Amino acid sequence: MSRSDSQSDRWLEISIVLPSEFAEPVTHLFSRYGDGRVFVSQTGDWDADVVGSDYSSDGEVTVYCYLKIDETIENRKGMIEIGLRLISELTDTEPHEERVVTPDEWVNQTFPTIRVGDRIVISPRMPDEGIPDYSETEDICVYLSPGLAFGTGNHPTTRLCLKQILLEAESGGLVGRHALDVGCGSGVLSIVALKLGASKAWCLDIDETAIRAIRDNLEMSGVDDRAHVLEGSIPNPDLPDTQFDYVFANITSRVLIDIAEPLIDSTKPGGIVLASGILDDQADSVRDAFLNAGNVSISETRQEGDWLMLRIVKSDDN
């Protein structure tokens, strides 16, 4: 079966246009009942840090959710529709739209250029456009192929990780380090870490449609010579027999709980896990899973709206 004929390429897109102040609860709803694949779009280039819990503009955004078409879709779609009806009681919205995304459309999805923090700029670019010239900018430039994979930096879970990676770099913690990116999506976390001094990164994703995009993104961003891309999760027999200085896991609370122990096992003593994709009402369960998985401490919790990221430090005496 060809990749374009694969059932895994069939997705239902649900979208709704609404005032920007309601983007966060809709993103929460879509993330809870969807597949963690949510995109917020605003016309023109925009600063991702502006769209969030403190965003006060009267403008509108479009929030997109992508659900894999399988035997659970009707139940998940029904829960989303109930949530949208409740939100419609609070603000005037047009009815949400649904459509099946074809494989060709999936590959050619795009997104606006966004800025995260004051240094990271994430832009769409097609692989056949070649590698850009980075010589005239001080920004951390990341180029991602439209479509195929998620993780453009416009979601709070990704932004929380990116901002923490910047802080790790500013303290000198990234230079020469090895990173493992579990559920890497577009590879954006690995790309930024490599551009900020990490010497090598291993990128893992279970979605076979994302693997090609990750390789393209690493090459377009100029870091492919220091990165390795593997399909799957952890434990993974294709990973080197070593532990990592940094482990990134921007996934979902349920998956974080399930793989907390192998995430800790993959981390060097004294190393750091950045765990994101956590809704605030699930935070205690995720914390407990990591604290029970090994001799670790949670040194910091970053939060944006309803979303949290945990910075977990593995004890040196493990």
Chain segment 39-58, per-residue pLDDT in tens: 666 544 334 444 443 333 44
Last residue of a domain, one of 60, 88, 107: 107
Quick one: pLDDT at residue 150? Answer: 55
At position 56, the amino acid (one-letter code) is S
Nearest to 251 by CA among 272, 275, 280, 227: 275
Q: Which residue has the tokens 């102040």?
A: 21
β-pair partners for 227: 201
Are residues 197 and 247 located together in one domain of the fold? yes
Quick one: pLDDT at residue 311? Answer: 97
Quick one: pLDDT at residue 57? Answer: 41
CATH of the domain at 160: 3.40.50.150
CATH of the domain at 8: 3.30.70.120
Are residues 66 and 151 located together in one domain of the fold? no
Are residues 91 and 179 located together in one domain of the fold? no
Are residues 28 and 102 located together in one domain of the fold? yes
Does residue 15 carry a pLDDT above 80? yes
Last residue of a domain, one of 73, 107, 141: 107
Quick one: pLDDT at residue 120? Answer: 87
pLDDT digits (tens, 9 = 90+) for 63-105: 888 888 888 899 999 999 999 999 988 888 889 999 887 766 6
Does residue 61 carry a pLDDT above 70? yes
Are residues 181 and 79 located together in one domain of the fold? no
Confidence of residue 153 (pLDDT cuts 50, 70, 90): low
| Higher-confidence position of 39 and 123 | 123
Both ends of the chain: CA-CA distance in Å?
A: 46
Query: How many structural domains are present in the chain?
Result: 2
Does residue 109 carry a pLDDT above 70? no
What is the DSSP track for 149-216?
A: ----S-SHHHHHHHHHHHHHHHTT-STT-EEEEET-TTSHHHHHHHHTT-SEEEEEES-HHHHHHHHH
Are residues 76 and 124 located together in one domain of the fold? no
Residue 101 structural domain: 3-107
